Amino acid sequence: EDQVTQSPEALRLQEGESSSLNCSYTVSGLRGLFWYRQDPGKGPEFLFTLYSAGEEKEKERLKATLTKKESFLHITAPKPEDSATYLCAVAGNNFNKFYFGSGTKLNVKP
Amino acid sequence: EAGVAQSPRYKIIEKRQSVAFWCNPISGHATLYWYQQILGQGPKLLIQFQNNGVVDDSQLPKDRFSAERLKGVDSTLKIQPAKLEDSAVYLCASSLEGRPLFFGPGTRLTVL
């Protein structure tokens, strides 16, 4: 069964303290892995798509990487405005079917 | 480009009442999804439409939930009668074939 597990559930960082969020997955024929950011009271906002192992994408302080079993979202020198829940999703053989993890709630203290 | 629109943003009802949510996807997006997100969890798929046909409704509680997509564009999700455990955020999303999902702002439902 296709499955996505994110860790940790919650992460507290001091401003400027770099860290990584993990998304491990089992899926039949990975077609894409997606990272989203969700602020309280809002819908998830698309960040990145990764299609194959070894691929990397960057946006400001965020960098997403992909291996055959997991993806990491690296946050470099985070700021309080990076505080949010980060969701990971995968699409398998049926590209239009997406499986979501439970998310990592990131809190960055000034 | 306009995003996914949803209404209402908030709804409070008593248990056993009925409620309906509306979604307008991004123009041209053939695939439309309804997700339920309970606090602290990831989105859970309720139903997926391709144009105006249902692709996947395996996790939709069909005894109380129904959904339709008129003319392959707008969609409505209805709950009748509501239960306490239906309290959640209902997210609508749309996508093009092989592309990421784009979400609306969601409707926060509270069932008392």
Which chain A residue's Cα is nearest to B104?
A43
Instruction: State whether residue A19 sits within 8 Å of chain B by CB.
Output: no
Residues of chain A with pLDDT under 50: none
Chain A window 24-63: which residues touch B at a Cβ cutoff of 8 Å? 31-32, 34, 36, 41-46, 49
Tokens of residue B97, six digits: 């074939």
Q: B55-107, pLDDT tens digit by residue?
A: 999 999 999 999 999 888 999 999 999 999 999 999 999 998 878 999 999 99
Q: How many domains does chain B have?
A: 1
* Closest among A43, A29, A45, A32 to A89, alpha carbons compared: A32
What is the DSSP code (8-state) at residue A82?
G
For residue B1, pLDDT over 70 is answered with: no
CATH number for the domain spanning B90: value is: 2.60.40.10
Tell me the C-alpha distance between A48 and B18, whole Å. 37
**Is B112 contained in some domain?**
no
Q: Would you say the C-alpha torsion A4, A72, A69, A97 has a positive or negative sign? A: positive
Look up the domain containing B36 and give its range: 5-96
Residue A13: per-residue pLDDT: 97
Tokens of residue A89, six digits: 């999703």
CA distance to partner chain B, nearest, from residue A32 (Å): 9
CB-based contacts of B84, cutoff 8 Å, min separation 6: B15, B111, B112
Q: Would you say the C-alpha torsion B28, B33, B38, B40 has a positive or negative sign? A: negative
Residue B94: per-residue pLDDT: 95
- Say what percent of chain B tops pLDDT 70: 99
Q: Which of A31, A32, A100 sits opposite B42 (nearest CB)?
A: A100
Tell me the C-alpha distance between B18 and B14, whole Å. 9
Q: What is the mean pLDDT of chain A?
A: 94
One-character DSSP codes across B35-94: EEE-TTS--EEEEEEETTEEEE-TTS-TTTEEEEEGGGS-EEEEESS--GGG-EEEEEEE
List domains and CATH numbers for chain A.
3-101 (2.60.40.10)
One-character DSSP codes across A41-81: TS--EEEEEE-STT-EEEETTEEEEE-SSEEEEEE-S--GG
Strands B65-69 and B88-95: unpaired
**H or E segment and range at residue B106:** none
**Is B101 contained in some domain?**
no
- Say what percent of chain A tops pLDDT 70: 99
* Closest among B18, B39, B27 to B108, alpha carbons compared: B39
**Is B26 contained in some domain?**
yes
CB-based contacts of A38, cutoff 8 Å, min separation 6: A44, A45, A84, A85, A86, A87, A103
Q: A56-71, pLDDT tens digit by residue?
A: 999 999 999 999 999 9
Tell me the C-alpha distance between A78 and B46, whole Å. 35
Which chain A residue's Cα is nearest to B108?
A41
DSSP bridge partners of A25: A4
**Is B31 contained in some domain?**
yes
